[in-house]
């Protein structure tokens, strides 16, 4: 009697499965390359390339300032570390950019929940640096607020998009409650600069979500009231604002940054030929824009600003005819976070804004913060992916604003 023989895979079957896998991966990569915003990707890579050169210029100043008698850091210590972190960041960036919009949303919501828990743990188990308790050390030290930035924008966009399913859902108050919780946790560290940045992202998303203008006015007034209260209750913020208004002294960080920025003139002193950067604290992070000015010149500083403006405009143009509310809000929130942080940092270096301790995204040196920024732009690339062969049936953002203006005029006519 014949008995059934067990199936034994042949070598050809294994090779066939591997070939199918490689073929499917090639198809996915072709789809990704077709749908990705290649202009936006180019702008991001250009800023990262400038950042690599800028960290190389700033590394000797920071390495010598941080060297001790027991340990002398090599001049290019931060440069080689940045190359390593940027390599990991690029892997994160491209991996995130290959996500579908739904998977990008899921990742953002899950990461937001995890980082909120981490923020709650910071006062309990966090490590303190320069008088601020913002970091958690789990084998690698990271700042939960840095990873919360992209997740916050995506999660809030998801919550505010619920209003399309049910206009009566209290999405504004849910989003405002989350913003309030984040603000309290950040001010406990203390971290006033990131609190302002998160509030700015929240305000932009609420504005785009179609909240009535009158309510936005009340919210803005409440925000100004909280900032005023912070001035009287938060010593660090008060001292920085007073120094900014009063002009400070020649030894203030912001004043040193401005002097360094202007020292190179239009064309710069040349790579590693800068002198003023040697007295500049945090030359490789908070004040790297000033190092760019001294060694590469004000013309390159202008190009950096134009690259950030081009990045912002490119995203907004791509979102202008977007018909999905979540995509519109998430993309706008992520680009607000990147652009807002960049221009606060630049204004601080120009002595036009109080010192906030913010890095220049995609340019400044960073460990886990570089990974977080690359995750942010990776999610931005994923959310702005678009099939070029699909036509849009609605005017998207233009329709949203037209509808809001019609409702505002209708309300004024009734009153």
DSSP assignment of 339-383 equals HHHHHHHHHHHTTSS-------TTTS--SHHHHHHHHHHHHHHHH
Both tokens of 315, joined, read: 């995203």
Least-confidence region, from 15-24, 27-36, 330-339: 15-24
Q: Look at 406 and 29; give whichever has higher pLDDT.
A: 29
pLDDT beyond 50 at 345: yes
pLDDT band at 87 (very low <50, low <70, confident <90, very high): very high
For 192-250, give the DSSP string: HHHHHHHHHHHHHHHHHTT--HHHHHHHHHHHHHHHHHHHHH-HHHHHHHHHHHH---T
Pairing of strands 127-129, 141-142: unpaired
pLDDT at 164: 76
Report the length, in residues, of the chain.
Answer: 415
Give residue 299's domain range. 38-386+394-409
The pLDDT tens digits of the residues spanning 168-183 come to 788 888 888 899 899 8
Span 31-73, pLDDT tens digits: 888 889 999 999 999 999 999 999 999 999 999 888 877 888 8
Residue 302 has pLDDT above 90, yes or no: yes
Contact 388, 318 (CB under 8 A): no
What is the per-residue pLDDT for 39?
94
d(CA 78, CA 87) in angstroms, rounded, equals 14
Q: Is residue 323 in a domain?
A: yes
311 or 247, greater pLDDT: 311
4 in a structural domain:
no
Sheet containing 127-129, strands listed edge to edge, beginning at the edge strand earlier in sequence = 127-129, 132-137, 141-142
Identify which of 84-98, 313-327, 346-360, 391-405 has the greatest average pLDDT: 84-98
Going from the C-alpha of 56 to that of each of 65, 296, 338, the distances in angstroms are: 15, 12, 23
Which of 236-240, 284-288, 298-302 is predicted with the least confidence, judged by mean pLDDT? Answer: 236-240
pLDDT of residue 348: 87
pLDDT tens digits for range 193-251: 888 899 999 989 988 887 666 766 777 777 677 767 666 666 666 656 665 565 554 44
Q: Domain for residue 24, yes or no? A: no
Among the listed residues 107, 18, 40, the one whose alpha carbon sits nearest the alpha carbon of residue 310: 40
| CB contact at 8 A, 200 and 340 | yes
**Is the per-residue pLDDT at 352 higher than 90?**
no
Predicted pLDDT of residue 393: 46
Mean pLDDT of 120-139: 78
Report if residue 53 sits inside a domain.
yes
- Tell me, what's the pLDDT at 150? 94
79: in domain: yes
Q: ∠147-120-361 over CA atoms, to 5°?
A: 20
Q: Which two tokens stand for residue 215?
A: 């309510």
Residue 59 and residue 278 in contact, taking contact as beta carbons nearer than 8 Å: no
Least confident stretch, 10-24, 85-99, 294-308: 10-24
Q: Comparing 97 with 21, which gets the higher pLDDT?
A: 97
Q: What is the pLDDT of residue 250?
A: 43
Place of tokens 């005029």: 409
CA angle 106, 108, 111 (to 5 degrees): 105
Does some domain include residue 23?
no
DSSP 8-state code for residue 365: -
Q: Per the structure, how many domains does the chain have? A: 1
Express as a percent the part of the chain with pLDDT over 70.
79
Q: Is 19 within a domain?
A: no
* H or E element in which residue 134 lies: strand 132-137
Domain membership of residue 307 (yes or no) is yes
Angle at 355 between CA 306 and CA 130, to 5 degrees: 125
- Please report which confidence band the pLDDT of residue 394 belongs to, taking 50, 70 and 90 as the band edges: very low
For the entire predicted model, the pTM comes to: 0.84
Q: Is the pLDDT of residue 381 over 70?
A: yes
- The pLDDT of residue 273: 85
Six token digits for residue 322: 């977007």
C-alpha separations of 139 from 43, 91, 135, 258 in Å = 33, 21, 12, 37
> Are 115 and 144 within 8 A, CB to CB?
yes
pLDDT of the residue at 73 = 87
- Packing angle, helices 192-208 and 144-160, rounded to 10: 20
pLDDT given at position 207: 86
What three-state secondary structure class fits 320?
Answer: coil
Contacts of 367 (CB under 8 A, 6+ apart): 81, 85, 140, 141, 142
According to the model, what pLDDT value does residue 231 have? 63
pLDDT in tens, 114-126: 999 999 988 888 7
């Amino acid at each position: 009697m014949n008995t059934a023989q067990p199936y034994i895979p042949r070598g050809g079957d294994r090779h066939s499965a591997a070939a199918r896998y490689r073929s499917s991966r090639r198809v996915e990569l072709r789809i990704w390359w077709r749908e990705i915003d290649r202009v936006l990707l180019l702008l991001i890579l250009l800023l990262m390339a400038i950042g690599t050169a800028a960290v190389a210029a700033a590394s000797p100043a920071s390495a010598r300032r941080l060297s001790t008698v027991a340990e002398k850091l090599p001049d290019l210590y931060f440069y080689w570390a940045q190359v390593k972190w940027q390599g990991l960041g690029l892997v994160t960036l491209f991996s995130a950019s290959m996500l579908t919009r739904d998977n990008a949303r899921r990742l953002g919501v899950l990461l937001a929940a995890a980082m909120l828990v981490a923020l709650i743990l910071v006062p309990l188990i966090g490590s303190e640096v320069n008088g601020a308790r913002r970091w958690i050390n789990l084998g690698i030290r990271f700042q939960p607020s840095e990873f919360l930035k992209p997740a916050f924008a995506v999660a809030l966009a998801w919550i505010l998009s619920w209003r399309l399913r049910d206009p009566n859902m209290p999405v504004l108050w849910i989003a405002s409650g989350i913003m309030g919780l984040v603000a309290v946790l950040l001010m406990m560290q203390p971290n006033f600069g990131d609190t302002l940045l998160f509030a700015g992202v929240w305000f932009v998303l609420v504005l785009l979500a179609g909240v009535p203008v009158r309510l936005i006015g009340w919210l803005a007034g409440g925000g100004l009231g909280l900032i005023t209260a912070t001035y009287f209750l938060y010593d660090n913020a008060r001292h920085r604002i007073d120094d900014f208004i009063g002009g400070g002294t020649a030894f203030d960080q912001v004043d040193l940054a401005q002097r360094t920025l202007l020292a190179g003139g239009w064309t710069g002193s040349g790579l590693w030929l800068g002198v003023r950067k040697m007295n500049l604290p945090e030359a490789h992070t908070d004040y790297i824009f000033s190092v760019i000015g001294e060694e590469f010149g004000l013309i390159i500083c202008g190009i950096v600003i134009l690259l950030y403006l081009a990045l912002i405009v490119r995203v907004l143009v791509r979102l202008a005819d977007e018909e999905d509310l979540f995509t519109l809000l998430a993309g706008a929130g992520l680009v607000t976070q990147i652009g807002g942080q960049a221009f606060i940092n630049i204004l601080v270096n120009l002595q036009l804004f109080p010192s906030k301790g913010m890095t220049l995204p995609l340019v400044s040196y960073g460990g886990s913060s570089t990974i977080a920024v690359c995750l942010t732009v990776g999610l931005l690339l994923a959310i702005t992916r678009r099939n070029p062969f699909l036509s849009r049936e609605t005017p998207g953002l233009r329709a949203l604003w037209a509808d809001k203006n019609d409702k505002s005029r209708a309300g004024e006519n009734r009153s």
